[in-house]
Amino acid sequence: MTGLHAHLVARINADGPLSIADYMADCLLHPDWGYYATRDPLGAAGDFTTAPEISQMFGELIGLALAQSWMDQGGPTPFALAELGPGRGTLMADILRAARAVPGFHTAMRLCLVEASPALREAQAHALSGYDATWYDSAADLPDLPLFLVANEFFDALPIRQFIRDGDGWRERRIGADEDGALTFGLTDATPQPALAHRIADTRDGDLIETCAPGTAIAATIGARIAARGGTALIIDYGEWRSLGDTFQALRGHAHADPLEAPGTADLTAHVDFESLASAAAPAAHTRLTPQGVFLERLGITTRAQALAARLSGEALDAHVAAHRRLTHPDEMGTLFKVMALHPANTDPPPGLSQ
Ligand code: SAH
C-alpha cells in the first residue's frame, strides 16, 4: 500500500467514508503524495494533453480575444492578466506573444498565476522567464484590479461530490475501505440537501448529479471582481450546462483508469457544471455556453492555420493539420470542450461568444 493509500484508509477508519471531494483533494494536492503536487502530468510522456500543448494557435487566439475585450472596455490600466491552473505555462506564453501586437497591453498588465503545484510553478517560471509574474494560492488573493482571466482545464480538476436522487432526498456517494484496505464506493442514507432544491424538478429517482463547491466559490470571487472592476473571464473545459450522470474519471498514461486504484498516481477529473458557475458569478453576466470548435472558428483559427501552414511541409505540416482538426472537430475536442465567458453586465461579450 502506498503512503497516500495508507493515509486514506487511516482517515476512513477514523472518520468514516470520505466524500469524493475529500478523496480528490488528497489524491490531487496532498503536499507529499498528491498527483499535481509531485509531478508535471502534461504532454506525451505524461497522462494527458491539453489544447495549448496541441497547438500555439489556441493560446494566440485566446490572447487576441482577451486583448480585444480589454480594448473594448477602454484599456483599463493597470489590470490583472490572470490564469487559473496554468499547467506548463504554455497557454500564457502564447497569449503574451500574441498580445504583444496590442499597444499598451503589456505595460498595463500585472501577470498573475494561480497555481497549487510547486512542480508546475517551476515549469511556469521557466516558460515565462522573460516576464514579471506573481503566483497566488487562490483566486481570492488576486489583486483588486480589472480582471482579464483564462482558465483552461482548471475547473475539471476541482473536487466534486456526487448525489443520487432518492425521493425528496439525496444519497451521497462516498468512498470506504474493506478489511484488506481496498477502496470501494458506497452510499449514505438519503438526506435532504437544501443546496440541491433547484434539481428536484429536473431529476428522477436514481439520477446522479455532481456538485463542485470549490468551483462555485471561485466563480463567485471572479464574478464579483469583474462586476465591480471590469474585465472578462474565459472558462474553457469539458462539461455541460447542467450536470447529470457520473463523470468522475481517472486518466493515466492517456488511458482511462479506475479512479480508486493506486490513489495519487492518476489525474482525477469531472465534467464542469457550467450553470452553477454562471449562477455563482452573478452579478457578472455570462455568455452562452459555446462549443470550443465554434469559438475557435469564430476567432479565425482557419485563417491562422493557413498562414502557419504556408511555412510548413512534410511531417510538420501533417502535424499542424492534425492539431487544427484536434482542437476544432466535433469528433475530437471541438464539441466536448465548451467555452463560457463572464463579463460586466453593461459590456459586450468578448469576441467569439454571444449572450
Ligand atoms: N491550464 C493548463 C493545465 C491544466 S491541468 C493547460 O491547459 O495545459 C490543471 C492545472 O490546475 C494544473 O496546473 C494544476 O496544478 C492546477 N490546479 C489543480 N487544482 C488546483 C487548485 N485547487 N488550485 C490551484 N491550481 C490547481
Edge to edge, the sheet with strand 249-252 lists 255-257, 249-252, 267-269
Same domain assignment for residues 127 and 152: yes
Same domain assignment for residues 43 and 190: no
Cα 208 off chain centre by: 22
Domain assignment present for 235: no
Q: To which residue does cell 489583486 refer?
A: 143
Q: Write down the pLDDT at residue 2.
A: 85
Domain assignment present for 195: yes
Tell me the CA–centroid distance for residue 183 and ligand 1, in Å: 26
Same domain assignment for residues 40 and 152: yes
| Grid cell at residue 203 | 431529476
Residue 150 backbone class (left: φ over 0; alpha: ψ -120 to 50; beta: rest) = beta
Domain assignment present for 216: no
Q: Write down the pLDDT at residue 45.
A: 77
* Alpha carbon distance 257, 262 (integer Å): 10
Q: Are 8 and 177 within 8 A, CB to CB?
A: yes
* Alpha carbon distance 217, 122 (integer Å): 26
User: Residue 231: enclosing H or E segment and its boundaries?
Assistant: strand 231-240
Q: Are 327 and 339 within 8 A, CB to CB?
A: no
CA-proximal residue: ligand 1, atom 5 (nearest): 87
Tell me the CA–centroid distance for residue 153 and ligand 1, in Å: 7
Same domain assignment for residues 58 and 26: no
Q: Write down the pLDDT at residue 204.
A: 97
Tell me the CA–centroid distance for residue 312 and ligand 1, in Å: 32
Which DSSP symbol is given to 264?
Answer: T
Cα 3 off chain centre by: 28
Give the number of domains in the chain. Answer: 2
Same domain assignment for residues 20 and 165: yes
CA-proximal residue: ligand 1, atom 3 (nearest): 87
Same domain assignment for residues 66 and 111: yes
**Closest-CA residue to 263 (of 181, 345, 326):** 181
CA-proximal residue: ligand 1, atom 10 (nearest): 85
Same domain assignment for residues 77 and 93: yes
Q: Are 169 and 150 within 8 A, CB to CB?
A: no
* Alpha carbon distance 139, 304 (integer Å): 32
**What residue numbers bound the domain in which 122 lies?**
36-158+283-343
Domain assignment present for 179: yes
Domain assignment present for 126: yes
Domain assignment present for 224: no
Q: Write down the pLDDT at residue 140.
A: 97
The CATH number given to whatever domain includes residue 95 is: 3.40.50.150
* Alpha carbon distance 351, 355 (integer Å): 11
Q: Write down the pLDDT at residue 248.
A: 98
Q: Are 301 and 60 within 8 A, CB to CB?
A: no
First to last CA, the chain: 51
**At residue 272, what are phi and psi to the nearest 5 degrees?**
-90, 135
Domain assignment present for 17: yes
Q: Are 173 and 162 within 8 A, CB to CB?
A: yes
Which of 210, 242, 272 marks a domain boundary? 210
Identity of residue 189: D
- 94: Cβ–Cβ under 8 A, 6 or more apart, which residues? 52, 56, 58, 59, 60, 62, 63
Same domain assignment for residues 154 and 190: no
| Grid cell at residue 196 | 440541491
Same domain assignment for residues 190 and 151: no
* Alpha carbon distance 275, 196 (integer Å): 13
**Closest-CA residue to 289 (of 225, 223, 335, 224):** 335
Same domain assignment for residues 103 and 127: yes
Length of the chain: 355
Tell me the CA–centroid distance for residue 97 and ligand 1, in Å: 21
Same domain assignment for residues 92 and 179: no
Same domain assignment for residues 153 and 185: no
User: Residue 223: enclosing H or E segment and its boundaries?
Assistant: helix 213-229
Domain assignment present for 10: yes
Task: Find residue 279's DSSP bridge partners.
Answer: none
Q: Write down the pLDDT at residue 40.
A: 83
Which of 188, 210, 232 marks a domain boundary? 210
Which DSSP symbol is given to 144?
Answer: S
Tens-binned pLDDT, residue by residue, of the chain (355 aa): 789 999 999 999 999 999 999 999 999 999 999 998 888 888 777 888 999 999 999 999 999 999 999 999 999 999 999 999 999 999 999 999 999 999 999 999 999 999 999 999 999 999 999 999 999 999 999 999 999 999 999 999 999 999 999 999 999 999 999 999 999 999 999 999 998 999 999 999 999 999 999 999 999 999 999 999 999 999 999 999 998 999 999 999 889 999 999 999 999 999 999 999 999 999 999 999 999 999 999 999 999 999 999 999 999 999 999 999 999 999 999 999 999 999 999 999 999 999 9
Tell me the CA–centroid distance for residue 116 and ligand 1, in Å: 7
CB-neighbour burial class of residue 192 (10 A; exposed 0-12, middle 13-18, buried 19+): exposed
Kindly list the protein residues whose Cβ atom lies closer than 6 A to any atom of ligand 1.
28, 36, 42, 50, 52-53, 85-87, 91, 114-117, 120, 152-154, 157-158
